[in-house]
A = this chain, B = another copy of it.
Amino acid sequence: MNNNGVLVVVSAPSGCGKDTIIAEVLKKTDDAFVSVSMTTRAMRPGEKEGVNYYFVSQTEFEEKIDQGEMLEYARYGSNYYGTPAGPVRKLLSEGKTVILIIEVQGAGNVKRLFPDACAIFIIPPSFEILEKRLRGRGTDDNDSIIKRLEIAKDELARAVEFDYIVENDVLEEAVEDIITIIKAEKLKTNKMKNKLSEVINNA
């Protein structure tokens, strides 16, 4: 079995630019994938199984929860949404890099199932800039922004539970930092064990 696959967990408070950063990372790397979520909601026109979501029944979803096979999940209205461990495990066994963009409190659960996962927390250059970015979007009213900032404050306090912290000041630099972390993770002793064994066994 190939054990070179790297599982990267990325979390950040709202407004820190995690989706933009990861979209750029994916453009610049050829073996990285963002995990596909699973849902119990109906497939919409144009959606594809295994691309937009894995579409399953409520019974199937609840079975996965019971088996501890959901890396994280939430219920919105009558539908479940979550990240199944199976496809992640498959990509890792193929040596791929899998990126999970998840809520701050979900990272611990991923580490429980995948102890080798590397967890990255993205922070803003300052709280002031985070507030400016949130206001600049023009999508939220003042009350929601104040609420988002309160949540961000709580989430920032949990950054110490992560392995790496990347500051999103200049987008290109944050993207390079994530790519650097992924490259370094591939050189971790655990990931290099096959290569090492190869050298030792032919000695």
Interface residues of A (CB under 8 A from B): 121, 123-128, 149, 152-153, 156-157, 159-160, 162-167, 177, 180-181, 183-185, 187-189, 192-193, 195-196, 198-200, 202-203
Contacts and interface: CB of A to CB of B under 8 A. Distances in A.
Given A126-B202, A187-B181, A195 B156 contact: no
Contacts of A152: 203
A41 B8 CA distance: 50
B153 A165 contact: no
Q: How many copies does the complex hold?
A: 2
Contact of A159 (B123, B183, B196, B202): B196
A111 to B, nearest CB: 13
Nearest to A198: B126
- Closest A-B pairs by Cβ, 4 of them: A184-B184, A165-B192, A127-B203, A164-B187
A164 to B, nearest CB: 5
A188 B181 CA distance: 9
23 contacts: A121-B189, A127-B202, A149-B203, A152-B203, A153-B200, A156-B200, A156-B203, A157-B200, A159-B189, A160-B193, A163-B188, A164-B184, A164-B189, A165-B187, A165-B188, A165-B196, A167-B192, A167-B195, A180-B180, A180-B184, A180-B187, A181-B187, A184-B184
Contacts of A187: 164-166, 177, 180-181
Contacts of A160: 189, 193, 196
A178 to B, nearest CB: 9
Contacts of A195: 123, 165, 167
A13 to B, nearest CB: 10
Contacts of A153: 200, 203
